[in-house]
Structure formats: structure tokens, C-alpha cells
């Protein structure tokens, strides 16, 4: 079990600029929630001018609470986003988010997570209830404790199928040699059709989409790091040619690889 939150910037476009504009940090949840929750993410800002942040979404559900000027707070469930996520922040505000592990939201939602894919649903939703008090108030510890209490109150039900999906999705994320669904299914001794059903039900998207999204996030992260040989990277990520990678990168990031690399440098 992870002992500290991830410290990568995967999925965040132009992370250096984001860290200049807002105060962003991650925390682990209570240990009892870690089989399902990747981390909590907190953002505070006080801006002189509007700031747009763009994110290539992970194959994961998020529960997000935002507190704006005046102290009003709104919560929502954000299903797996297929498209580039954009948000413009203004004035001052706070966000408290829960990023679930891919497949980890199913024990809380208790039905197919695919019905949330591409959608943002206000709380309360289904079996989920609004928190009794504000989530984004107080110190970071206060905010994390409020999220712990909220998720515990939703009473997730452990499920062996969920544990399998979480494990398989983590294997895709961490092993960049995973490029094809059939090879991955054979490696883990899972029939392809069962793998597809499990991912659709528990993650909200199929395994092919998860593989491609993680590999594209790697391409975005590497593009921010310095000059690249795009033909070699395309081959490493399982693309038939460089043009195919460029098309997918442009579709998911909103700009071509070359334009993105220029913008961050």
C-alpha cells in the first residue's frame, strides 16, 4: 500500500505555470480508504487575473468540492473525462478533491460507473449524501479529516472484482510495456471479454481506452521535460507511426506535440 501520495504531474498541462498560479498539494486518505482512493488534492488561489488550467483526465472518478468568494460550497461527482478538461479560476477560492483509483469508486456508487463517464453530477447523487458541514474550511488537516469522514459515511462495500480491477489498472499505469489489450489479458490470465466487462462496469471505460490514455499522459509529461524524438516515442508507446501519435496527442491535449512543447519551454 502506498505510503505517500504520487508526486508526478501526469495529466496536468504546463504544471510549472500551474504551481506558480495556485497552491496545489496532495494527501493520502485514512488507511482504511486507500484500497479505493488514490489521494486527496487541495487547491487554493488568490488571483489578480483569470487563470485557465487544462488537464488530460485520468481514467478515474473524482469527487470535488469548491468554495468560492462568499463561502458558498458546491460538490459534484466527476466521471471519467474522455476530453480535455478546462477550468478558469478567478478571484479567490478553494477546492477539495478526491481522486479515486481507477475502479475504486464502484464500492461507493454501487452500480455501473460507466453511467458517469463524461458527466459531472451534483451531490447528492444516488447513494451519496452531501456532507453535514463544509469540506473546504479550516486547515489542510481539517479538510482531509472532513473528506475521510464523508467517505466513511458513504460505507463502501468491499468487492473482490473491484480489487481485481484496481490491481489491473495499476499494472497498466505503472508498466509502459502494456500496449495491447489481448497481450495484457493473456499476461494476467483474464479472458479479453471479461476484462472488457470488468473495466466498463468498474472504471467506466474499456481497457483499450485506459492503456491509450496512460500512454498519452506519458507523452504529455515527456513533452514538458525537453526535446524529444517523436518517432522513437511513438514506437515506445505502441503507435504504428509518429503521425498516429501526433493525432491522438492533439485530440487529447488540444494542441500538437510541437506546439505544446514550445508553450511550456
CATH 1.10.287.10 fits 160-264, yes or no: no
Per-residue pLDDT for 208 more than 70?
Answer: yes
Range with the largest mean pLDDT of 94-108, 220-234, 236-250: 94-108
What are the pLDDT digits (tens) for 49-77? 999 999 999 999 999 999 876 667 889 99
Cα–Cα distance for residue pair 119/77, rounded to 1 Å: 8
* pLDDT for the residue 127: 67
Span 26-51, average pLDDT: 97
Cα–Cα distance for residue pair 131/178, rounded to 1 Å: 39
Span 180-200, average pLDDT: 97
Nearest residue to 1 via CA among 38, 54, 27, 51 = 38
Per-residue pLDDT for 83 more than 70?
Answer: yes
Cα–Cα distance for residue pair 12/211, rounded to 1 Å: 18
Span 109-132, average pLDDT: 85
pTM: 0.93
* pLDDT for the residue 123: 86
Domain positions in the chain are: 15-153, 160-264
* pLDDT for the residue 70: 66
CA of residue 234 relative to chain centroid, distance: 23
CATH 3.40.50 fits 15-153, yes or no: no
Average pLDDT over the chain, rounded to whole?
Answer: 91
Instruction: Find out whether 27 and 39 touch, Cβ atoms under 8 Å.
Output: yes
Nearest residue to 119 via CA among 72, 94, 68, 85 = 85
Amino acid at each position: 500500500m502506498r505510503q505517500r501520495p504520487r508526486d508526478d504531474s501526469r495529466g496536468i498541462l504546463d504544471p510549472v505555470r500551474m504551481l506558480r498560479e495556485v497552491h496545489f498539494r496532495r494527501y493520502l486518505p485514512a488507511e482504511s480508504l486507500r484500497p479505493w482512493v488514490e489521494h486527496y488534492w487541495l487547491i487554493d488561489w488568490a488571483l489578480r487575473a483569470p487563470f485557465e488550467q487544462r488537464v488530460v483526465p485520468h481514467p478515474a472518478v473524482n469527487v470535488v468540492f469548491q468554495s468560492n468568494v462568499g463561502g458558498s460550497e458546491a460538490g459534484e461527482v466527476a466521471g471519467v473525462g474522455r476530453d480535455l478538461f478546462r477550468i478558469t479560476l478567478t478571484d479567490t477560492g478553494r477546492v477539495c478533491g478526491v481522486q479515486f483509483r481507477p475502479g475504486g469508486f464502484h464500492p461507493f456508487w454501487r452500480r455501473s460507473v460507466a453511467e458517469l463517464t463524461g458527466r459531472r453530477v451534483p451531490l447528492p447523487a444516488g447513494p451519496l449524501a452531501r456532507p453535514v458541514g463544509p469540506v473546504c474550511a479550516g486547515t489542510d488537516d481539517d479538510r482531509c479529516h472532513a473528506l475521510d469522514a464523508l467517505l466513511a459515511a458513504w460505507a463502501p462495500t468491499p468487492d473482490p472484482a473491484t480489487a481485481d480491477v484496481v490491481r489491473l489498472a495499476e499494472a497498466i499505469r505503472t508498466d509502459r510495456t502494456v500496449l495491447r489489450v489481448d497481450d495484457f489479458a493473456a499476461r494476467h490470465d483474464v479472458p479479453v471479454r471479461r476484462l472488457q466487462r470488468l473495466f466498463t462496469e468498474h472504471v467506466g471505460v474499456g481497457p483499450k481506452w485506459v492503456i491509450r490514455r496512460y500512454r498519452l499522459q506519458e507523452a504529455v509529461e515527456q513533452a514538458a521535460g525537453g526535446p524529444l524524438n517523436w518517432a522513437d516515442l511513438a514506437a515506445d508507446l505502441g503507435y504504428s507511426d509518429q503521425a498516429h501519435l501526433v493525432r491522438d496527442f492533439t485530440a487529447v491535449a488540444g494542441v500538437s506535440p510541437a506546439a505544446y512543447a514550445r508553450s511550456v519551454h
